[in-house]
Amino acid sequence: MALIEASGLTKKFRQAVKEPGLVGSLKHFFTRQYKDKLAVDHIDLSVEAGESVAYLGPNGAGKSTTIKMLTGILVPTSGTLIVDGLVPHLRRQQNARNIGVVFGQRTTLWWDIPVVESFNLARDIYDIPAKRYKKNLAEFTELLGLAEFMNIPAGKVSLGQRMRADLCMALLHDPKLLYLDEPTIGLDIAVKDSIRKFVRRQVDERGVTVMLTTHDLGDIEDICNRIVIIDKGRIIHDGDLKALKDNYARDRVIHFQLARPPVSMDPICAGLPMCDVESDGLALSVRFDRFKFAAGEIAAAVMDHVEVVDFKIDEPEVEDLIRKVYLGQLSLTAPETAAALEPAVASEA
């Protein structure tokens, strides 16, 4: 059985609807009106032990709500959810022993006491055996470089230091599952990098299963093998990162710098069937499908007709892809998810 098994998982919130202004407030005081909001709408999700899943979606898509149901903080409205054999909200405390949580926007450390004392509290709360605790703490201190601020209260360390300490805190009790909610938000590049490497190492060496929500695509490429995209409470894509790139990020672009403007574009275009050729003075760019052509073929075809001074190749960007999905310009209908997608499309119409 998979580590996380969700089927038809749904969370509906009741939101108070209030008209603007004093009159609206008064009306609201006497006759309350509510509107149901489907934050998570019948999602099916199965995550195997050892996977690292990027759980993406625009703001308000239902990411955090899903994570909160997985941690047992929120009770699902309907559907079933089993995490490591437990129903999280019914066995919240037991489930908590299996999971580590990092919220980028808030710390799990005690604000007013030295960082190391928060770790000691974690030891007592999770009942970590002394030996295990010592070993883990020593390892994480080394890998995350925590020694320099171990004795400073969490409220007085920098954001980058705090996040590193938070990661340590989340992993001290050897959780099987690690939920990371925007773990690199607001961090500088060096810290981002060290955090990504650290998390990836936990996946590779300890077999920790990671579920990551983020708006930073660097996190995904460095940590995750699988991408799940949620929008308006529904999963609109679920597949591995490489397949996503292969299926949708097929276009590469070569930009050529020419010695002189081409006399005519026709022979160049004729030599490049099924490619987009754009030319502007000395610049010429060719967009092509990287599965149909090798970059060398394109370059050779161009150089047959014009003299090339320089060139560079743009690789397809996952970022571009996901931006397009968010904006609704690209619908990811991979064959295996196409059936599940239809109702989503219908409800949006």
Amino acid at 183: P
What is each CA distance from 55 to 58, 128, 210, 305, in whole angstroms?
A: 10, 29, 10, 47
In a 3-state reduction of DSSP, which class is residue 184? coil
| 113 belongs to the binding site for other proteins (CB under 8 A) | yes
Burial 65-75 (b: 16+ CB within 10 A, else e): bbbbbbbbebe
CB of 99 to other proteins, least distance (A): 7
CB of 222 to other proteins, least distance (A): 23
Q: What is the C-alpha separation between 189 and 183, in angstroms, rounded?
A: 13
Cβ atoms 252, 288 nearer than 8 A = yes
Sign of the alpha-carbon dihedral angle for 253, 259, 261, 265: negative
Binds other proteins (CB under 8 A): choice among 124, 205, 280, 310: 124
**DSSP conformational letter for 315:** P
CB of 284 to other proteins, least distance (A): 50
Half-sphere exposure in the Cβ direction for 68 (13 Å, CA): 13
Binds other proteins (CB under 8 A): choice among 7, 78, 94, 331: 94
- Contact mark string toward other proteins, 165..184, x via CB under 8 A: ----------------x---
Q: What is the C-alpha separation between 114 and 192, in angstroms, rounded?
A: 23
CB of 288 to other proteins, least distance (A): 44
| 10 belongs to the binding site for other proteins (CB under 8 A) | no
Query: Which stretches does DSSP call E strand in the chain?
Result: 4-17, 33-47, 52-56, 78-83, 99-103, 177-181, 209-213, 226-231, 234-240, 251-258, 276-280, 283-289, 308-314
- Contact mark string toward other proteins, 263..302, x via CB under 8 A: ----------------------------------------
In a 3-state reduction of DSSP, which class is residue 79? strand
CB of 72 to other proteins, least distance (A): 7
Binds other proteins (CB under 8 A): choice among 38, 75, 295, 299: 75
Binds other proteins (CB under 8 A): choice among 27, 28, 97, 290: 97
Which of 32/201 has CB closer to other proteins? Answer: 32
| 127 belongs to the binding site for other proteins (CB under 8 A) | yes
Which of 63/237 has CB closer to other proteins? Answer: 63
Please classify residue 183 by burial: count the beta carbons closer than 10 Å to its beta carbon, then call 0-12 exposed, 13-18 middle and 19+ buried. buried
* Binding region for other proteins (CB under 8 A) out of 110-118, 249-257, 260-268, 337-345: 110-118
| 58 belongs to the binding site for other proteins (CB under 8 A) | no
Distance of CA 191 to the CA centre of its chain: 18
Q: What is the C-alpha separation between 100 and 209, in angstroms, rounded?
A: 10
How many residues in the chain? 349
339 token code pair: 């059936």
Amino acid at 207: G
Q: Scanning residues 207 to 246, which ones bind other proteins (CB under 8 A)?
A: none
| 106 belongs to the binding site for other proteins (CB under 8 A) | yes
| 108 belongs to the binding site for other proteins (CB under 8 A) | yes
| 150 belongs to the binding site for other proteins (CB under 8 A) | no
Which of 176/324 has CB closer to other proteins? Answer: 176
| 46 belongs to the binding site for other proteins (CB under 8 A) | no
Which of 105/329 has CB closer to other proteins? Answer: 105
CB of 123 to other proteins, least distance (A): 8
Residue appearing with tokens 């969490």: 154
Which of 230/306 has CB closer to other proteins? Answer: 230
Binds other proteins (CB under 8 A): choice among 31, 105, 264, 329: 105
Rg (CA), the chain: 25
Q: Which residues bind other proteins (CB under 8 A)?
A: 13-14, 64, 67-68, 71-75, 92-94, 96-97, 99, 101, 103, 105-108, 110, 112-113, 117, 120-121, 124-127, 153, 181
